[in-house]
Amino acid sequence: MSDQQIGYAALLKRRHRISTCFEWTCRVATVSALLFLAALLAGVIWQAWGWLDLQFLTGFDSRRPGKAGLLAGLWGTSWLIFFTAIFTVPMGVGAAIYLEEYATDSRFTRLIKLNLSNLAGVPSIVYGMLGVTAFVRMFGMISAADGWTMALSLGFGTLEIPLPLGRCLLAGSFTLSLLILPVVIIASQEALRAVPPSIRHASYALGATEWQTIRHQVLPAAIPGIATGIILALSRAMGETAPLIVVGAMSYVAFAPGNLDTPMAAVQDPQRVLDAPFDVFTSITIQITNWIEQPKEEFQNLAAAGSLVLLILLVIFNATAIVIRNRAQKKISW
């Protein structure tokens, strides 16, 4: 072989060595990311071991770690997510329908779309600052000193709405709704876009109006995708802490919103249901934060147990979303 050929063979060998090194670097990076996840889950489970029991799930918070429980947070988070869903679903889906089905490519539409992608990138704590000013204090239009209560008699109880809203559960829900609205809109838009135009054309050809087409053809076909997006957005809302702190969630509460601590109480005393949205509140995440900050060692275990409960709830939410998506994919044949 000539010198040139030997040089080339050596070079080729080196290039292949570099290539193998690079492949292993990439593998190690991926595995290390997976290991981070494993370490995080293992750590939380290890710390929570023995602390996640029935007493923890059915008891209220306490200054003594052995007696403290997550019940106030569980109720708080359930109420928050319930109201957030009620506000976000119609608004988010409605906005997506408008943008996908009605809107022409005008300057205003483009502005809305640009705005949506920017809103999705705004830090959650900024939404908290919007919430505390807009909902808790209502822009200071009604000062807290001469605030008043609007009472609405409903037969089985009185709906008492304080103005300004104050640091109540409903203010927290409004804030979370605005926070996840862009996510819901973007996900719903994608689901609507996936419905083939031929379905719309067929419907129009049969004489259906725009709304009839959307209501009876497009929406049913897009529902699985929309539902997946909504569930994922709600699970994001469930894990949020910062905006709730800014809005004024209580770090230590030893009662559920409206004193409604069993589902039965809702039937026995409906007034409590009406009181709940305007009561002070805490959430699972807020309770975890509070426990992390306690100096006593055992509270760290409580924080881990709370985190584990939160993670289990998130897994349930995400599993539901995946099941819905998979079943829809099997059914749809276009």
Q: Which stretch binds another protein (CB under 8 A): 23-31, 63-71, 257-265, 270-278?
A: 23-31
8 Å CB contact between 73 and 284: yes
Q: Is 19 in the site for another protein (CB under 8 A)?
A: yes
CB-based burial label for 149 (10 Å; 0-12, 13-18, 19+): exposed
Supply the angle between the helices 284-292 and 71-97 in degrees, to the nearest 10.
130
| Candidate list 16, 201, 216, 327; residue touching another protein; CB under 8 A | 16
Q: Quick one: CA dihedral 313, 314, 319, 321, positive or negative?
A: positive
CA 169 → CA 4, 250, 280, 329, distances in Å? 78, 10, 6, 37
Q: Which two tokens stand for residue 92?
A: 């988010």
- Among residues 266 and 292, whose Cβ is nearest to another protein? 292
Among residue numbers 37 through 56, which ones bind another protein (CB under 8 A)? 37, 39-40, 43-44, 47
Min CB(111)–another protein separation in Å: 8
Backbone φ and ψ for 231, nearest 5 degrees, come out as -65, -45
3-state secondary structure of 50: coil
Helix ranges restricted to H, the chain: 3-48, 54-58, 71-97, 107-119, 124-131, 169-193, 197-205, 210-213, 219-238, 242-247, 263-268, 270-275, 284-292, 298-331
Min CB(266)–another protein separation in Å: 28
Among residue numbers 134 through 163, which ones bind another protein (CB under 8 A)? 134, 137, 139-140, 143-145
Among residue numbers 186 through 245, which ones bind another protein (CB under 8 A)? 204, 207, 209-211, 235-236, 238-242, 245
Q: Which stretch binds another protein (CB under 8 A): 149-157, 192-200, 263-271, 299-307?
A: 299-307
Q: Which stretch binds another protein (CB under 8 A): 72-80, 155-163, 181-189, 193-201?
A: 181-189
Q: Which two tokens stand for residue 168?
A: 């109540």
Q: Is 318 in the site for another protein (CB under 8 A)?
A: yes
Rounded distance between C-alpha atoms, residue 38 and residue 34, angstroms: 6
Min CB(318)–another protein separation in Å: 7
- Among residues 128 and 258, whose Cβ is nearest to another protein? 128
Min CB(270)–another protein separation in Å: 31
Min CB(155)–another protein separation in Å: 29
Helix ranges restricted to H, 206-283: 210-213, 219-238, 242-247, 263-268, 270-275
Q: Is 78 in the site for another protein (CB under 8 A)?
A: no
Per-residue x/- marks for another protein, 84-123, CB under 8 A? ------xxx-xx-xxx--xx-------xx--xxxxx-xxx
For the chain, what's the residue count?
334
Q: Is 316 in the site for another protein (CB under 8 A)?
A: no
| Candidate list 9, 11, 15, 332; residue touching another protein; CB under 8 A | 15
